[in-house]
């Protein structure tokens, strides 16, 4: 036991770390950015979410649907912080397909309860422009996860790193560049540093000053990328702030309860080891192993 | 094994009920007065934790089913509606998803405990086999539950796993069509998986009742692996085992809460946040972590039918364990050679799990094969031979002696 | 064991039990709350605005608010007079017509179209009182939606509503502040 165990473990660890297998699709790990919503006390920045929403609205929504969100979500707590009146105003600026009393197709102004409309009537129409249907963005930030590899996934368990999605999206949006020498580009597509396989169907959507920010934030691609990534994270996890808040209370409660149960256990077991049963010098608290 | 105390209800209602349906007496003799070896360590709390987790899964599952729609066009959106609109829906969903992982974590610890201390040996063979049945039911339940989300991974995992059955010669294809209810995984498949996913946990609960019954007939095993000889060797289940179970359950819940509230994306595959698309296969199909070792075993064998046999065989072989292990000594504490092979087996299982998450290429294939060989060799070669050749350490005279020292 | 140790032990047990009970109660909250209407149901039940202009005199229109049918009755002078001239004390559920309409808008009657007997939807322009007739058990309502004959105990209830203008009402809110 004494020599064989550590020897075996070392051998296996050595083999594993030396392994460099061919990967199915090459994925460059995006840089880890600072997000206001990261960590146990993280919160969304309403100003950032509003800027991100503006980018979604003016740039992305031409092709990408956000079909699981409703206009009323814009006024939900822990989100972009629009008032109900503002959300209602935004809703009314959209045209929603409906039918009138006689069953004819009409378009009417959006209401709070309406979902964000899709830019395409169906999947095939969505595919037509670039050969691939632009994915719906409602859960995109949670879908774009990637493996960080050992030992990061061990650290991530403790640091609560959950921002794979926004890190990837922000990196991807800034990752358009000329293909390096020797890289064969196919007939259509664009080179992107962070897209798995490096060839993405979407043309670069952002450029400097593409969207006007009312709050004076820099109108750079970097800022746009971060803001829309934060917005998409909110779109995917709207209850994150409430979740972390309740989590803090629950874990604190469980620690207190565990402590009380531990001392109760010690007290209960102490009674079993009445002094007459003990051999000289035995510790009553060490009866169960 | 006689109870230490007979149930004497003080309460008039309980006296009345006891004459008609002696449930009070049953609970008393099974969970209050029930004599429990005094030397149980914390590895023994996982049985209680498993019962708790089964309850958590059933309760959260029932409330989730109030909002879920099992139709291919609506399933994914209904799950998202739970996450976004249902009051505390996000909490219920994460509790159920991570409840499954915690359930499997507890069951693996519980099984490894049994392996280490020889809890499967005579007279607990049926107890062990009931446990294997519970484990198989858990795997089926977990698989079907994952499909219900109807994300990319749900659909393609369903396709891959149901296709395994086509390896059976002759009836394979007909069997798969029968499972699917169509020409591919589709709406009929989803609907029947929902029905069965709702049913199986109650079947598990029934088998758990049998499992606890079988346990109470033989009595608990203990770290020394020797039977209690007198009242000095045992304590009543309540309050001694109850409070220990309760404490560790609370600690276990801290880990559970850590996942649910702070890192809910840690074990969830991103591809399952993309609605199922029968026309596009994800670049990597990876099952949930608790299936990874068996996934690695399946892929390490180049032949389709033999791979499937190895997959089911790797679980089925557990049922034969009481007869494969020929050693008369139960606990690994007194089996120095077995202990080394046991820990190697643990490393092999963890290693197979790791390889199951990797693409089946290069060094991963070679190592998967080596580890798979060890996995089967452990049961089929090492355990039978160890019983014959191993020199075991001398056993203590009694449980209380092993706990309190020879002067007890 | 001394009595001091007894009370110390008891305090620990009581504290543990109490905290455990608090936890169990807290765990029940989401399980019970999840059965309440979810956010999308509440959003779908938001107030609706109805344009009254297309509703001709004498016409009864049925709209839905919170899945309940709402009758909007554009009453003619004859129908208003019928409602106002009735002796209130003779009614099974006494209520003057003036309390069932908004001031200055006598011609508009807005009621929830669910029979107060057992929940069927009464049929418009039928019965002896020029109002509604419920086919399930024969209840009859007048031009103010009040029960006159039959087993129903109460008048057709009024939903919360307000006039945004002379030709527009919002059903679901009693105040008239525009969005």
Interface test with B, best of A142, A162, A272 (most B CBs within 10 A): A142
Q: Which of C13, C23, C46 sits opposite A257 (nearest CB)?
A: C23
Q: Work out the end-to-end distance of chain B between its first and last CA atoms, rounded to an integer number of angstroms.
A: 23
Q: 3-state SS of A164-211?
A: HHHHHHHHHHCCECCCCCCCCCCCCCEEECCCCCCEECCCCCCCCCCC
pLDDT tens track for A263-289: 999 999 987 755 444 455 555 455 443
Q: Which of C172, A246, A122, A261 is nearest to B88 (CA)?
A: A246
Spell out the residues 6+ positions from residue C30 whose beta carbon is closer than 8 angstroms to its own: B87, B88, B91, B92
Report pLDDT for B407.
Answer: 47
Residues contacting residue B368 through CB under 8 Å, at least 6 positions apart: B296, B297, B299, B300, B352, B355, B356, B360
Question: Does B151 have pLDDT greater than 90?
Answer: yes
- Structure-token match 């007909």, residue found: B174
Instruction: Determine, yes or no, domain membership for A161.
Output: yes
Scored b (16 or more CB within 10 A) or e, C39-49 reads bbeebeeebbe
At C178 the pLDDT is 54
Nearest C-alpha neighbor of C102 from the set C155, C175, C177: C175
A14 domain-assigned:
no
Whether residue A230 is found in the same domain as residue A277: no
Q: Compute the Cα dihedral for B324, B328, B331, B334 and give only its sign.
A: negative
Q: What is the mean pLDDT of chain B?
A: 94
Whether residue B8 lies inside any domain: the answer is no
Asked if A270 and C33 count as a contact pair (C-beta separation under 8 A), the reply is no
Answer yes or no: is A84 within a domain: no
CB C109 within 8 A of CB C71: yes
Chain A residues whose beta carbon lies within 8 Å of the beta carbon of residue B364: 19, 21
On whether any CB of chain B is under 8 Å from the CB of C31, the answer is yes
Quick: pLDDT tens for A71-108.
Answer: 999 999 999 999 999 999 999 999 999 988 788 999 99
Number of A/C CB contacts below 8 angstroms equals 37
User: The complex's ipTM?
Assistant: 0.92
User: Least CA distance to C31: which residue of chain B?
Assistant: B63
H helix or E strand, kind and range, residue C111: strand C108-112
**Cβ within 8 Å, pair B273-A196:** no
Which residues in chain C are closer than 8 Å to A112, comparing Cβ atoms?
43, 46
CB contact at 8 A, B92 and C34: yes
Q: What is the pLDDT of residue B4?
A: 53
Of C6, C105, C125, C137, the catalytic one is: C137
Q: Which of A55-64, A257-266, B390-399 has the lowest mean pLDDT?
A: B390-399
**Cβ partners under 8 Å of residue B171, min gap 6:** none
Of the ranges A16-30, B390-404, C3-17, C154-168, which one carries the lowest mean pLDDT score?
A: A16-30
Q: Any idea what the CATH number is for the domain that residue B133 is in?
A: 1.20.810.10
Q: Total domain count for chain A?
A: 2
Are the Cβ atoms of A21 and B361 closer than 8 angstroms? Answer: yes
> Residue A33: inside a domain, yes or no?
yes
Give the position of tokens 């026309």.
B279
- Which residue spans within B109-221 are E strands per DSSP? none
Which residue, B207, B220, B201, is CA-closest to B45? B220
CB contact under 8 A, A162 and B265: yes
Are C110 and C171 in contact, with CB atoms under 8 Å apart? Answer: yes
Q: 3-state class of A217 per DSSP?
A: coil
Sign of the Cα torsion A162, A166, A170, A172 reads positive
- Nearest in space to B167 (alpha carbons), one of B48, B17, B311: B311
Determine the Cα–Cα distance for residues B146 and B291; give it in Å rounded to an integer. 12
Return the pLDDT at A88. 95
pLDDT at A14 over 90: no
> pLDDT-based confidence at B399, cuts 50/70/90?
confident
CA separation for the pair B58, B61 (Å, rounded)? 5
- Residue B131 in any domain: the answer is yes
Residue B97 belongs to what domain range? 24-404
Residues on B contacting C at a C-beta cutoff of 8 Å: 59, 63, 66-67, 81, 84-89, 91-92, 246
| Residue B378: closest CA among B115, B104, B123 | B115
For the stretch B96-126, pLDDT in tens is 999 999 999 999 999 999 999 999 999 999 9
Q: How far apart are CA B296 and CA B364, in angstroms?
A: 9
With an 8 Å Cβ cutoff, is C18 touching chain A? no
Q: Is residue B218 part of a domain?
A: yes
How many percent of chain A have pLDDT more than 90? 72
* Active-site residue flag, C137: yes
Q: Report yes or no on B9 lying in a domain.
A: no
> Is B6 inside a domain boundary?
no
Confidence of residue A25 (pLDDT cuts 50, 70, 90): low
List pLDDT tens digits, range B250-273. 999 999 999 999 999 999 999 999
* A233 in a structural domain: yes
Q: For residue B251, which of B109, B39, B355 has the smallest C-alpha distance? A: B109
Q: CB contact, 8 Å: A135 with chain B?
A: yes
DSSP B138-166: HHHHHHHHHHHT-BHHHHHHHHHHHHHGG
Crossing angle between the packed helical segments A221-236 and A46-58, to the nearest 10 degrees: 100
B397 or B180: which leads in pLDDT: B180
Rounded Cα–Cα distance for residues A71 and A65 (Å): 13
More confident residue, A45 or B2: A45
**Whether the Cβ atoms of residue C110 and residue C65 lie closer than 8 Å to each other:** no
Binned at pLDDT 50, 70 and 90, residue A128 comes out as confident
* Contact of C77 with C142, CB cutoff 8 Å: no
Question: What was the pLDDT predicted at C3?
Answer: 66
Enclosing H/E stretch for C72: strand C68-74
- Using CA atoms, how far residue B369 sits from A17, A19, B299, B360, B385, in Å, is 18, 15, 9, 11, 22
A121 and A158 share a domain? Answer: yes
Round to whole Å and give the CA distance between C128 and C117.
18
Alpha helices in B220-260 (DSSP H): 242-257
**H helical segments located in B270-359:** 292-300, 304-316, 321-324, 336-356
Cα(B104)–Cα(B145) distance, rounded to whole angstroms? 14
Owning domain of residue A269: 247-286
Omega prior to A80 cis, within 30 of 0:
no
In a domain, A132, yes or no: yes
Find out whether B214 and B32 touch, Cβ atoms under 8 Å.
no
Q: Encode chain C (179 residues) as per-residue pLDDT tens digits.
A: 566 666 776 899 999 999 999 999 999 999 999 999 999 999 998 899 999 999 999 999 999 999 999 999 999 999 999 899 999 999 999 999 999 999 999 999 999 999 999 999 999 999 999 999 999 999 999 999 999 999 999 999 999 999 999 999 999 988 766 54
Contacts of B63 in chain C (CB under 8 A): 31, 34-35
> What is the average per-residue pLDDT within B13-29?
94
* Separation of CA A228 from chain center: 12
In a domain, A17, yes or no: no
Q: How far is B173 from chain A (nearest CA, A)?
A: 30
- Judged on CB neighbours under 10 Å (0-12, 13-18, 19+), B291 is buried
Q: Are residues A234 and A194 in the same domain?
A: yes
- The count of structural domains within chain B is 1
Tokens (6 digits) for C160: 């919360």
Q: CA–CA separation, C145 vs A202, rounded Å? A: 61
Q: Is B17 within the bounds of a domain?
A: no
- Positive/negative CA dihedral, C29, C32, C35, C36: negative
The mean of the pLDDT values for chain A is: 87
Q: Is B361 helix (H, G, I), strand (E, B) or coil?
A: coil
At which residue do the structure tokens 């007869």 appear? B323
CA–CA separation, A139 and B35 (whole Å)? 53
Q: Looking at the structure, tell me whether residues A177 and A282 fall in a common domain.
A: no
Q: Are residues A48 and A187 in the same domain?
A: yes
State the angle between helix axes of B336-356 and B89-117 in degrees (0 to 180), rounded to the nearest 10: 150
| Structure confidence at residue B276 (pLDDT) | 96
CB-based contact A138:A236 (threshold 8 Å): yes
Spatial neighbors of C157 by CB under 8 A, at least 6 apart, are: C111, C112, C114, C116
- CATH code for the domain of A170: 1.10.760.10
Banded pLDDT at A17 (limits 50, 70, 90): very low
A273 closest CA partner among B404, B231, B227: B404
Q: How many angstroms separate the CA atoms of C124 and C74, rounded? A: 12
The pLDDT score that the predictor gives to residue B92 is: 98
Q: Is residue A251 part of a domain?
A: yes
Closest partner CB to B244 (pick from A22, A257, A265): A265
Query: In whole angstroms, what is the distance from residue B296 CA to residue B298 CA?
Result: 5
């Amino acid at each position: 036991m004494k020599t064989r165990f550590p020897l075996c473990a070392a051998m296996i660890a050595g083999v594993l770390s030396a392994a460099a297998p061919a990967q199915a699709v090459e994925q460059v790990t995006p840089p880890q950015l600072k997000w206001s919503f990261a960590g146990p006390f993280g919160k969304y920045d309403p100003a950032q979410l509003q800027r991100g929403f503006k980018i979604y609205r003016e740039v992305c929504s031409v092709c990408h649907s956000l079909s699981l969100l409703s206009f009323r979500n814009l006024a939900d707590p822990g989100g972009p912080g629009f008032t109900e009146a503002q959300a209602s105003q935004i809703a009314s600026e959209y045209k929603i397909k409906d039918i009138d009393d006689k069953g004819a197709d009409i378009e009417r102004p959006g209401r709070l309860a309406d979902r964000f409309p899709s830019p395409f009537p169906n999947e095939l129409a969505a595919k037509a422009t670039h050969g691939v249907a632009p994915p719906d963005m409602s859960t995109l930030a949670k879908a774009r996860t990637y493996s960080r590899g050992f030992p990061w996934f061990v650290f991530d368990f403790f640091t609560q790193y959950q921002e794979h999605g926004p890190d990837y999206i922000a990196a991807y949006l800034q990752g358009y560049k000329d293909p390096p020498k020797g890289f064969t580009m196919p007939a259509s597509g664009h080179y992107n540093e962070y897209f798995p396989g490096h060839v993405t169907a979407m043309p670069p959507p952002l450029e400097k000053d593409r969207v006007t920010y009312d709050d004076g934030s820099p109108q750079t691609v970097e800022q746009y990328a971060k803001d829309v990534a934060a917005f998409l994270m909110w779109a995917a996890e709207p209850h994150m702030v409430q979740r972390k808040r309740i989590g803090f209370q629950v874990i604190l409660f469980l620690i207190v309860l565990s402590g009380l149960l531990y001392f109760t256990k010690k007290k209960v077991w102490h009674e079993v080891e009445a002094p007459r049963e003990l051999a000289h010098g035995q510790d009553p608290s060490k009866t169960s192993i | 094994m006689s109870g230490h105390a007979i149930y004497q209800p003080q309460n008039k209602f309980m006296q009345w009920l006891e004459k008609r349906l002696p449930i009070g007496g049953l609970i008393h003799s099974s969970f209050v007065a029930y004599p429990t070896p005094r030397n149980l360590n914390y590895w023994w709390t996982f049985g209680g934790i498993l019962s708790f987790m089964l309850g958590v899964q059933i309760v959260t599952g029932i409330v989730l089913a109030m909002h879920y729609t099992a139709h291919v066009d609506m399933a994914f959106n209904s799950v998202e509606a739970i996450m976004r609109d249902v009051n505390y829906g996000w909490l219920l969903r994460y509790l159920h998803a991570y409840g499954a992982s915690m359930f499997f974590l507890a069951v693996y610890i519980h099984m490894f405990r049994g392996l280490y201390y020889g809890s499967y040996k005579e007279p607990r063979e049926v107890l062990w086999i009931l446990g294997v049945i519970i484990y198989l039911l858990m795997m089926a339940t977990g698989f079907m539950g994952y499909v219900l989300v109807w994300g990319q991974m749900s659909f393609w995992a369903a396709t891959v796993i149901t296709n395994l059955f086509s390896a059976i010669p002759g009836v394979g294809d007909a069997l798969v069509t029968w499972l699917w209810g169509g020409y591919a995984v589709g709406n009929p498949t989803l609907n029947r998986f929902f029905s069965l996913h709702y049913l199986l946990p109650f079947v598990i609960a029934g088998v758990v009742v049998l499992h606890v019954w079988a346990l109470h007939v033989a009595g608990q095993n203990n770290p020394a692996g020797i039977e209690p000889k007198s009242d000095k060797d045992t304590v009543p289940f309540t309050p001694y085992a109850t409070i220990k179970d309760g404490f560790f359950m609370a600690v276990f819940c801290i880990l559970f809460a850590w996942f649910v509230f702070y890192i809910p994306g840690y074990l969830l595959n991103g591809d399952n946040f993309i609605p199922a698309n029968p026309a596009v296969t994800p670049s990597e199909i990876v099952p949930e972590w608790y299936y990874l070792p068996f996934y690695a075993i399946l892929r390490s064998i180049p032949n389709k039918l033999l791979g499937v046999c190895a997959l089911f065989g790797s679980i089925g072989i557990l049922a034969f364990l009481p007869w494969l292990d020929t050693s008369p000594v139960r606990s690994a504490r007194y089996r120095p050679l077995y202990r080394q092979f046991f820990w190697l087996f643990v490393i092999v299982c963890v290693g197979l799990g790791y390889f199951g998450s990797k693409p089946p290429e290069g060094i991963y294939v070679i190592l998967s094969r080596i580890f798979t060989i060890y996995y089967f060799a452990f049961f089929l070669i090492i355990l039978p031979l160890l019983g014959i050749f191993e020199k075991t350490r001398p056993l203590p005279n009694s449980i209380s002696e092993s706990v309190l020292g020879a002067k007890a | 064991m001394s009595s001091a140790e007894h009370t110390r032990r008891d305090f620990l047990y009581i504290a543990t039990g109490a905290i455990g009970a608090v936890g169990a109660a807290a765990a029940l909250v989401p399980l019970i709350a999840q059965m309440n209407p979810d956010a999308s149901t509440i959003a779908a039940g938001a107030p609706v605005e109805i344009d009254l202009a297309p509703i001709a005199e004498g016409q009864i229109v049925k709209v839905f608010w919170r899945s309940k049918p709402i009758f909007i009755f554009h009453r003619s002078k004859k129908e208003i007079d019928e409602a106002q001239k009735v002796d209130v004390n003779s009614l099974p559920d006494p209520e003057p017509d003036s309390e069932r309409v908004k001031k200055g808008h006598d011609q508009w009657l807005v009621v929830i179209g669910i029979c107060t007997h057992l929940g069927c939807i009464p049929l418009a322009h039928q019965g002896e009182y020029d109002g509604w007739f419920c086919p399930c058990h024969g209840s009859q309502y007048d031009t103010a939606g009040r029960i006159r004959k039959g087993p129903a105990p109460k008048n057709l209830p009024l939903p919360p509503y307000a006039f945004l203008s002379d030709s527009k009402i919002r059903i679901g809110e009693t105040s008239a502040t525009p969005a």
